[in-house]
Amino acid sequence: MKKSEANLPRVIDGVDRNSIMQMHREMVTIRTVENTVAESILRKEIGCPCHLYSGEEAVATGVCMNLRNDDWIYSSHRSHGHFIAKGGNIERLMAEIYCRRGGVSGGRGGSMHLSSPEIGFPGSSAIVSGTISLAVGSALAFKTMKTDRIVASFFGDGAADEGVFYESMNLAALYRLPVLFVCENNLYSTHMPISECLANTNLIKKAEAMGVRGIRIDGNNVIGVFKTVKKLVGGMRNGQGPRFVECMTYRHRGHVGPNYDIDKGLRSKDELDLWMKRDPIDLLERKMIKSKIATVKDLDRIRDEIRNRVEAARNRAKNAPWPSCKTDKAFNEASWRVNE
């Protein structure tokens, strides 16, 4: 430990300094990747559709910090943040977004179809709610194998429009499966406010109607997400069955692509500005500085370090070869098996 760190506080809101620093680094990494991807789209270097996670970083970070490498998560079309938070390789992620050989899906999946089973990330899907049932099936497998492994399923509020959402929760409750349903409620289903899609916007009640206990939390408070999920995961490992956590958050960018949907009249600038003031990274950094967990200079150094790393990953991806017509040797049947 450096002498300058000797007198620094060890905790914030009951969370130790090392964990706080890890949370910050993960969120800044996700934001930097998403901003870099946005720039690349505007430069027309990336052609595949990208649903950016900017603004929602606290959810993926707070949840995944409570998971082990052998726990699994399933993601949605807005998948970059989940992949990074679960420990995914940034270089391979960027290569996949550029659709180049060496990407996590061999350059054939693009932004919405990431797969890295070795870190507990079997896949993401462009189909709204498409991976919720897969998460439940995996949780059933883990329980059948008599392990204490759990599965987290990330999805947006729009998934509550789909029948598989209810069917999956019912099955999970019926068999007390170790699956955590994580709803990232960013208030919009594609381009429509949730109030224009659902007659009843109380998603907690929908989960409880299917026998799954739920809780609504501030999805922009990473420490709060971390502490809440820590309690839920502890109970799930002890056989308490599935849980539903609704994280209230907001995406900075539009539904898809680098723009902000202001020009289309889909949301107002006042609304965007209001949520920008509740940026999850800014909220954590202000708390870190106030509590003397870190200095402004420390945070600047971290951002510069991450920016350089992400830029290097982008440059490698741009210069990487395209996928070949032959099957990539990195993909084989054994890599998809559940570890026994």
Beta strands, E only, 219-330: 243-248
> Does residue 263 or residue 150 have the better pLDDT?
150
pLDDT for the residue 337 = 38
Q: How confident is the model at residue 4 (pLDDT cuts 50, 70, 90)?
A: low
Residue 178 CB-half CA count within 13 A:
24
Lowest-confidence segment of 2-6, 30-34, 195-199 by average pLDDT: 2-6
pLDDT for the residue 225 = 97
Average pLDDT over residues 205-210: 92
pLDDT for the residue 331 = 46
Beta strands, E only, 87-178: 123-124, 151-156
**Whether the model pTM is above 0.95:** no
Nearest-angstrom CA–CA distance, 289 and 68: 29
Lowest-confidence segment of 44-58, 96-110, 115-129, 189-203 by average pLDDT: 189-203
Contact 161, 193 (CB under 8 A): no
pLDDT for the residue 326 = 67
Pairing of strands 123-124, 151-156: unpaired
Query: In the chain, where are the structural domains located?
Result: 3-318
Question: Per CATH, the architecture of 3-318 is what?
Answer: 3-Layer(aba) Sandwich (3.40)
Nearest-angstrom CA–CA distance, 224 and 23: 12
Residues 6 or more apart in contact with residue 3 via CB below 8 angstroms: none
Paired with 75 in beta bridges are 124
